[in-house]
Amino acid sequence: MSAKIRYTNEPLGKLKVVPDFLPKPEDLILRDEGVKITIALSKRSVEFFKREAERHGTQYQRMIRRLLDAYAQHHSARPLTAQSTRTRGQRAARR
C-alpha cells in the first residue's frame, strides 16, 4: 500500500450507522488460550494499549487479543468460546 490516497469532495452515497459493539478497555483483561503470530501494529495503537493495560493491571497483548476475539465473535456465525474467563483478581482471590 505504497500508493498515496487522493481524497475528493464527492458524495459518499447511502451511509449506514452501525452500533458500537467493541468492548471497553477494562473488559479486555480476560485470559484465553492463544496461538503465537507476528503482526505489525501502529505505534499509536500499541501506546494506547500499553497505557490502558497499565491502568488496569494487565498485559497490553492480552487486551489486544480480547479485542480481536470480541470482533471475531460479533461477526462469526459460530460463537467463540473462551478457555478461561477469570480475571487476574479473580484468580488471585481463589488462592
What are the CA-CA distances from residue 31 to residues 16, 22, 47, 68, 85 (Å)? 34, 17, 21, 13, 6
Percent of the chain having pLDDT more than 70?
A: 76
Residue 10: band (very low, low, confident or very high) from pLDDT cuts 50, 70, 90: confident
Q: How far apart are CA 91 and CA 93, in angstroms?
A: 5
pLDDT at position 42: 96
Alpha helices of 13-85 — where are they, by DSSP H? 43-56, 60-74
The tens digit of pLDDT for each residue in 37-82 reads 999 999 999 999 999 999 999 999 989 988 998 898 888 876 555 5
pLDDT at position 83: 46
